[in-house]
Structure 1
Amino acid sequence: MAQEKASASSRDRIVAAAVAMIAEDAGASLSVRAVAARAGVSTGSLRHFFPTQRALRDEVLARIYDEVASEGWSQDPALPARDRLVDCLRQVLAPAGVGGQAREAWGKVYEAFIVPEPTDEVRAAYLAMEQEGQRRVESWLAGLTREGALAPGDNTRRARFLMTVLNGLATERALPARESILASETETLYMAVDCVLSSGA
């Protein structure tokens, strides 16, 4: 029993350390040595729980998006579906910040995924983030479909559209703006959500 608790504790420390590293630098490679050192565990222990970097990154991204979802998603069908979905999408954008914070976050993504040659490792890291984001948005859309607020249809395609909107808005947050970026962002989010909610099969 004590050994099981220690194992769970080690695994949790590893994931927490990796989440912290991603929070500090979205392009962090999550190398075995760096994560193990930050978590205070041996590299062998880390490999025991996460045999590959991909397994660790997938777990970290799932944890991050689950936290975003639990904070942002309201299952209360009494609230309008469009407002709930917009609030969820805002939660995805929130970590990027606005102005200087957004420029710094976007710069890290640029340095991690655009500047370097698209090696298998770089591609896998980016695709893992993209797929986890897509999965989370699809789960929100599936919930709305079950409630009857969204007509059955291709939620993968709808999620891809919403992710493209989010990517554009995240970039826009880092650029100079003439008006209140948050006001225009809200208008864009509602337009995108209305487009999805009105889409048929």
Structure 2
Amino acid sequence: MSKRDEIIAAAIRLAEGSQPGHANLSVRAVAKEAGVGPSTLRHYFPTQSDLHEAVMRRAFDTVVNDFSISDTTVSPADRLYECCAQFLPNHEHRDLQLEAWFGMHLHALGPERRGVSHRLLEHAHEITYDALHRWLNQLAREGHIDPDAVKPAATLLFTTIDGLSLHAIIKPETTTVDVIHEQIKWTIDELLRPERHGEP
């Protein structure tokens, strides 16, 4: 592991060991956790914002799970839904998840938009698109979807997930957690319909 990666790992340990919203990611605290001097940390991360961005990027990189996408004993629709469901709000944390999703977009695109927030949002989008393509390509290799449909299918799933999240904020009484999950299941069933890729 490089020194840069060790510093990021130390910052993540501090964040994970703290109460939500109270992580001490100061230069001094992270340097101590990483076993380096503050000047060494500054060499890799000239500003605290640089360090925070690196930690957030690493968190995004490790958060997406492929679950059972390669398990051919499970139906393709169930596998794809299981993977997509990690991007959807659930009953236990609905409000917190939607608040975080909206806040990330507001900081990146709102009137007081920040460069670091925009870069992190772009990175999160890239990771999500990469995951959707990876899962759909797996199903295409198995013959469950036309390979030429992978790219538009990934875009459809991504925009459906984002659109449902927005509707859940605007109309929470009708766009419930159950409605969101059922809509994604329906969309996946439509994408994987046998007649869409030449099966009788």
Q: With structure 2 as the length reference, what TM-score do the two structures score? A: 0.69
Aligned to 1:164: 159
Could you tell me which runs of 5 or more consecutive residues in structure 1 were left unpaired when the two chains were aligned.
25-32
Structure number with greater Rg is: 2
Q: Is residue 86–residue 189 contact of structure 1 (8 Å, CA) maintained in 2?
A: yes
Q: Decide whether aligned partners of structure 1 residues 187 and 94 sit closer, same or farther in structure 2, where only a CA change above 3 A counts.
A: closer
**1:105 aligned onto 2:104:** no
Q: What is the CA deviation profile of residues 88-131 of structure 1, one whole-angstrom value per residue up to 9, with x for unaligned ones?
A: 11112247932x32453244224412323556444322211111
Q: Is the helix fraction higher in 1 or 2? A: 1
Moved more, 4-13 or 126-135: 4-13
Are the aligned partners of 2:89 and 2:177 in contact in 1 as well (CA < 8 Å)?
Answer: no
- Range that drifts further, 167-176 or 122-131: 167-176
* Cα distance change on mapping 1:192 and 1:48 into 2, 3 Å: same
- Aligned partner of 2:63 in structure 1 is 64
Q: Which is bigger in relative contact order (C-alpha 8 A, separation at least 6)?
A: 1
Q: How big is the shift at 1:169?
A: 2.0
The equivalent residue for 2:11 is: 14
Residue of structure 2 equivalent to 1:28: none
Equivalent residue number for residue 82 of structure 1: 77
TM-score (norm 1): 0.68
- Percent of counterpart pairs with the same letter? 16
Q: Does 1:147 find its partner at 2:142?
A: yes
- Give the deviation of 1:46 after TM superposition: 6.7
| RMSD of aligned Cα (Å) | 4.0
| d(CA) in 1 for partners of 2:26, 2:154 | 32
Question: What is the CA distance between 1:172 and its match in structure 2?
Answer: 3.0
**Structure 2 Cα separation of the partners of residues 5 and 19 of structure 1:** 21
Maintained 8 Å contact 1:141/1:155: yes
Question: How far 1:82 moved relative to its partner?
Answer: 0.7
- 1:82, 1:44 → 2: CA distance? 49
One-letter amino acid of the structure 2 residue matched with residue 14 of structure 1:
A
Question: Per-residue displacement from partner, 1:32-86 (whole Å, max 9, x unpaired)?
Answer: x946456334363375489994982543321122xxx14x444221111111111
Corresponding residue SS for 2:86: helix
Query: What is the rounded CA distance, in whole Å, between the counterparts of 1:140 and 1:134 in structure 2?
Result: 10
Deviations 1:142-165 (A, max 9, x none): 111122222211423221211111
